[in-house]
Amino acid sequence: MSHYALECVECGRTFSDDSLLRCPRCGGLLEVALDYDAIEVDRRTLERRELGVWAFRELLPVSTDDPVTMGEGGTGLHPCPTLADELGVRSLHVKNEGENPTGSFKDRGMTVGVTKAVELGAEVVACASTGNTSASLAAYAARAGLTCAVLLPAGKVALGKLAQALFHGARVVPVDGNFDDALAVVRRLAEEGLVYLLNSVNPFRLSGQRTIAYEICRQLGWEVPDAVVVPVGNAGNISAIWQGFLDLRALGLIDELPRMYGVQAEGARPIVDAVLEGREDIEPDPDPETVATAIRIGNPVNAVKALRAIRCSGGWAVAVTDDEILRAQRKLATREGIFVEPASAASIAGLRRLVEAGEIEPDESVVCVTTGHGLKDPEIVMETCELPEPVEPDPERIKERLGLR
């Protein structure tokens, strides 16, 4: 007997065929449901292992001892007292996912998803991507010796991510359209059996992303933060992190659950609107726009799960402006030494809003997930930095320029 099954999030039926990407009965999304009775883990065992995705192998839906891995996860959970003070919360930790092998949390999903692709005998893996999914998949496909096909919204992918996808040897197709259009096409190719799909409709990928929650709990000595704040695009990550906390509680490793907060950009906020209006599903936005390209998504496929996570946990969702995002990005860099890409900084900008609104209280502990590395998008940063004029290598001139008198 396996320690997991695939469960439909719409009709609740379960299946044991790992090649499924939708419920064969109702077309709903599938999620990995762990059989908690079949899993034996305890805190002591987990603590003895080096932190990372595969430290939690009993909770991952694969059977191989030989995963496609580059040491993903094990990212820092950094205390940020200066920002905590400024934002008005008791404690703030940043879970900095930019420290993953290709620079975003997508690697947690891909190590599991590509391992499953190999298990299933796939030859071509594919994704639509705002950038980081393609960078990650291209790297893991290269490592596994698979062909990688990538569809990107033309002209809307940050330079670093594009460089990664191209350089790892993916077949890259820019699409005249946005992410949602590209995803619709690649889902079609997957249904025709031409490619194995690794977008966040893939339940195995999202299982890997649950390890963000597992790691946060272990890093906090199995204490659970009051609130977890996550940037939301396609809404897979916030759903996965919530499920991760549910897993740990079901296994008796933690007692409490955090409230989950989603943050979107003003120009791409279908989840926020659904939360504000108390709806169970979203109204897609055909024309999303934001400087935070990683969350420039108008029709998040995991919306139903994310809305459930936010509601069941007692959380909320907020939108932030591009200006707030860029200011938060700079603040994190200059006050705490953490350089993240714009989408990631949305979590910090969102926290400010949530504290102001009284959603998060001054005596509470907060974890903000920063999803990707700042070097992914150097262009946006250089737009706001002035490149200084060169001077001669003369100590006096240089002292003057540095303001050292």
Ligand X SMILES: *Cc1c(COP(=O)(O)O)cnc(C)c1O
Window 165 to 194, contacts with ligand X (CB under 6 A): none
Contacting Zn ion within 3-42 (CB under 5 A) = 8, 10-11, 23, 25-26, 28
Instruction: Identify which of residues 225 and 372 has a Cβ nearer to ligand X in the complex.
Output: 372
Q: Give the C-alpha separation, 40 to 231, whole Å.
A: 32
Q: How far is the CB of 84 from Zn ion (least distance, A)?
A: 43
70 vs 63: CA distance, rounded Å: 18
Which residues in the 18-47 window bind ligand X by CB under 6 A?
A: none
Structure tokens at 317: 């969702």
Euclidean distance between the first and the last CA atom of the chain, given in angstroms as a whole number:
73
Establish how many alpha carbons lie within 13 A of residue 62's alpha carbon, considering only the half-sphere containing its beta carbon: 27
Nearest to 132 by CA among 111, 113, 160: 160
Whole-angstrom CA distances from 375 to 90, 129, 155, 289 are: 30, 18, 18, 21
* Site for ligand X contains 295 (CB under 6 A): yes
Residue 39 and residue 250: Cα distance in Å, rounded? 11
Task: Tell me how far, at minimum, the Cβ of 249 lies from ligand X, in Å.
Answer: 22
Please report, as residue ranges, which positions from 48 to 87 form the binding site for ligand X (by CB under 6 A).
Answer: none
Instruction: Measure the CA–CA gap between 239 and 224, rounded to whole angstroms.
Output: 17
Q: What is residue 15's three-state secondary structure? A: strand
- Residue 347 contacts residue 230 (beta carbons within 8 Å): yes
Binding partner selected for residue 312 from ligand X, Zn ion, none, CB under the kind-specific 5 to 8 Å limit: none
Min dist CB 23 to Zn ion, Å, is: 3
Total binding residues toward ligand X, as defined by CB under 6 A? 18
CA distances from residue 226 to 174, 184, 257, 263, 402 in whole angstroms, order as listed: 41, 37, 8, 17, 43
Segment interacting with ligand X (CB under 6 A) among 55-63, 86-94, 329-337, 339-347: 339-347
Contact segment (CB under 6 A) with ligand X among 114-122, 183-191, 253-261, 341-349 equals 341-349
Q: Does 343 bind ligand X (CB under 6 A)?
A: yes
- The total of other beta-carbon atoms located within 10 Å of residue 355's CB is 18
Taking residues 114 to 153 in sequence order and writing x for each that binds Zn ion by CB under 5 A, - otherwise, the string is: ----------------------------------------
Does residue 200 sit in helix, strand or coil? coil
Instruction: Supply the minimum distance, in Å, between the C-beta of residue 64 and ligand X.
Output: 25
Q: Decide if residue 371 touches ligand X (CB under 6 A).
A: yes
The site partner of 194 among ligand X, Zn ion, none (C-beta below 5 to 8 Å per kind) is none
Q: Which residues in the 94-153 window bind ligand X by CB under 6 A? A: 104, 106, 132
Q: How far apart are CA 273 and CA 324, in angstroms?
A: 19
Residue 28 interacts, among ligand X, Zn ion, none and using kind-specific CB cut-offs from 5 to 8 Å, with Zn ion
Q: In angstroms, what is the minimal distance from the CB of 372 to ligand X?
A: 3
Binding characters for ligand X, 191-220, by CB under 6 A (x = yes) = ---------x--------------------
* Minimum separation from the CB atom of position 274 to Zn ion (A): 21
Single residue of 186, 235, 320, 368 touching ligand X by CB under 6 A:
235
Which part of the chain contacts ligand X (CB under 6 A), choosing from 62-70, 145-153, 164-172, 234-242?
A: 234-242
Angle among Cα 275, 346, 154 to the nearest 5 degrees reads 95
Report yes or no: 211 and 56 within 8 Å, Cβ to Cβ: yes
The answer to whether 32 touches 211, Cβ cutoff 8 Å, is: no
CB burial readout 221-235, b (16+ within 10 A) else e: eeebbbbbbbbbbbb
> Residues 6 or more apart from 197 whose CB is under 8 A from it?
21, 125, 126, 127, 186, 187, 189, 190
Candidates 34-42, 170-178, 210-218, 235-243; binding stretch for ligand X (CB under 6 A):
235-243
The window from 69-77, 230-238, 356-364, 390-398 that contacts ligand X (CB under 6 A) reads: 230-238
Position 236 contacts ligand X (CB under 6 A): yes
Among the residue ranges 115-123, 227-235, 327-335, 355-363, the one whose residues contact ligand X (CB under 6 A): 227-235
Residue ranges binding ligand X (CB under 6 A): 104, 106, 132, 200, 231-237, 294-295, 341, 343-344, 371-372
Residue ranges binding Zn ion (CB under 5 A): 8, 10-11, 23, 25-26, 28
